[in-house]
Amino acid sequence: MATDKSKGVDTSFRRTWSDSNYLNQETEEVQPKRIVRDPNLPRAPLKARENSINFHLKLNKKTVLTPSSDASSHGYFCDVCECVVKDSANYLDHVNGRKHQRMLGMSMRTERADLKSVRERFEANKRKQLDTEQEIQQRLEKLQQAQQISKKKKLAKEIEQEQLATLAEESANDELVATGLPISFGSSKKKN
């Protein structure tokens, strides 16, 4: 059997190298969404986080991971760094870490405190402590007043019940005396 070399094999399904196609793809590449900061720009000193992290939202929840599901649902998703961390401990480490802080525009250095700011902080803490002590005293006074009022009401109620009981007993005795029947049974001793 002779093969006909003039016909050849159909190779249209194979990829072909084309410089123009690859140059076009290079220019059309999508730029990442992340903001790349210049390392030479000054960064703000490290400061306390203003919002709290709610770890309890995903507590004791099980999720089924599928290849088609969103990557942000597989754990804790960081919007700033666009990364997914699998558990809360690692997420906390990431949020407090250098990479995340740099993406927020902060350095890992804290602001140096001067004597004036330290004194102001002490005064603020003293005022806060005094306010809480005064608040506690006010609460205790209110509780004591409420307890005294409840004791008075309870005592008044007991006195009223005793009076009602004695009135009922006296009225029952009066009815028995009116009928002419003996009031006591079998005892000859006199009550003092």
Nearest to 87 by CA among 67, 98, 95: 95
With bands split at pLDDT 50, 70 and 90, how would you rate the model's confidence at 141? very high
Average pLDDT over residues 108-120: 89
pLDDT at 185: 64
pLDDT at 111: 83
Report yes or no: 46 and 107 within 8 Å, Cβ to Cβ: yes
Q: Does 12 score more than 60 pLDDT?
A: yes
Concatenated DSSP letters of 169-192: HHHHHHHHHHHT--SS-S--PPP-
pLDDT at 184: 67
With bands split at pLDDT 50, 70 and 90, how would you rate the model's confidence at 44? confident
With bands split at pLDDT 50, 70 and 90, how would you rate the model's confidence at 1? very low
Q: Does 186 score more than 70 pLDDT?
A: no
pLDDT at 104: 83
Concatenated DSSP letters of 53-83: --GGGGTT------TTS-GGGGSEEETTTTE
Averaged pLDDT of the chain: 79
Beta bridge partners of 2: none
pLDDT at 149: 95
What whole-number distance in Å separates Cα of residue 136 and Cα of residue 142? 10
- Determine the 3-state secondary structure of 12 from DSSP: coil
pLDDT at 88: 83
Report yes or no: 110 and 45 within 8 Å, Cβ to Cβ: yes
- Residue matched to tokens 């093969």: 3
Contacts of 99 (CB under 8 A, 6+ apart): 81
pLDDT at 145: 95
Q: Does 32 score more than 60 pLDDT?
A: no
Q: Does 31 score more than 60 pLDDT?
A: no
With bands split at pLDDT 50, 70 and 90, how would you rate the model's confidence at 124? very high
Q: Does 154 score more than 90 pLDDT?
A: yes
pLDDT greater at residue 189 or residue 42? 42
Phi, psi of 97, deg, nearest 5 = -85, 170
